[in-house]
Amino acid sequence: MTDNLPKVRGIYKFNELLNRYTWLNVGGPADVMFLPADEADLRDFLRQKNPKESIFVLGGGSNLLVRDGGMAGVVVKLASDDFAKWHIDGNILYCGAGRLNFSLKKIVAENGLGGLEFLCSIPGTLGGAVRGNAGCFGSEVANVLQTARVMDSAGDVFEVTNADLGFGYRHSAFPADWIVLEAGLRFEKADATETARIIAQNDEYRRTHQPQGIKTAGSTFKNPEGMAAWRLIKEAGGDTLVFGGAKLSAQHCNFLHNEGTSAADIEKLCTAVQKAVREKCGVELEPEVQTVGRE
């Protein structure tokens, strides 16, 4: 396979362990990891690669469970500075999809970008947040996204609007072969001191109510309509389940905690929690953590 890879200006890594790139710190090797130098490099790669070769775009790895067998094909990671550039035009912040959401704090605070404060505390990259319609503190990407620039599997670049993306709760209708390049985020001009205060307040809430300093992946399951996933898990006794070093956080039982185990054990735990909630509460929990790769 490596003999057929296109010539690129970026970097190929072979048999790269993906546990280095996921918050849960599990995952086998990617057959190939590609770190494009810039958009043109990504475009050229997509246009020249074997059309049968599978592609998976890896963001910040914050809500991702990669199985122990790793990933076939090519894992693309938008890690270069070219995918993190930003500028403001009117009341729109245009920002590259590879930028970590945490790094938006300085941009949002110093420029008084009201309404974007919630994004700054969402784990992962902006591209992942857009694709999954991430949200917290009463807002979500669908509330602020104006446009997105995307690249399809043929390397063609085009712009889509909010209305094109079929946003739902922690969901969008992005086709699997689209790669988010840049998001245009609408904001309301606000006092910089106030935006900084809101960001700090959000950070403090997370420190107080959510586990810190552990191998986790954010919320494990989506909240069913009108219900809280953690309450259902606790009611069903799912918070007491343990598989190897996989358990749920004692502080917030909708957060996985990897104390040193395999992806297989974590996946078994998730399945067992779903079964317990289904049997006890009659509710089917839908994963928020995406599971990918070979078993």
pLDDT digit string (tens) for 150-199? 999 999 999 999 999 999 999 999 898 899 999 999 999 999 999 999 99
Would you place residue 98 in the very low, low, confident or very high pLDDT band (cuts 50, 70, 90)? very high
Q: What proportion of the chain, given as a percentage, has pLDDT over 90?
A: 93
Residue 66 is given by DSSP the state E
pLDDT digit string (tens) for 225-274? 999 999 999 999 999 999 999 999 999 999 999 999 999 999 999 999 99
- Structure confidence at residue 3 (pLDDT): 59
Mean pLDDT value across residues 55-63: 94
pLDDT digit string (tens) for 204-235? 999 998 888 889 988 999 999 999 999 999 99
Sign of CA dihedral 89, 94, 99, 100: positive
- 85-209: what CATH class? alpha beta
Show which residues are catalytic.
170, 219, 288
Note whether 178 and 151 are within 8 A (CB): yes
- 2-76: what CATH class? alpha beta
Other C-beta atoms closer than 10 Å to the C-beta of 150 total 25
What is d(CA 291, CA 275) in angstroms, rounded to the nearest whole number? 17
Would you place residue 2 in the very low, low, confident or very high pLDDT band (cuts 50, 70, 90)? low
Each domain of the chain, given as residue ranges in start order, spans 2-76, 85-209, 229-292
Q: Which residue has better confidence, 201 or 52?
A: 201
pLDDT digit string (tens) for 133-147? 999 999 999 999 999
- Correct CATH for 229-292 of 3.30.413.10, 3.40.50.880, 3.90.78.10, 2.60.40.10: 3.90.78.10
pLDDT digit string (tens) for 62-77? 999 999 999 999 999 9
Q: Does an H or E element contain 135, and which? A: strand 135-136
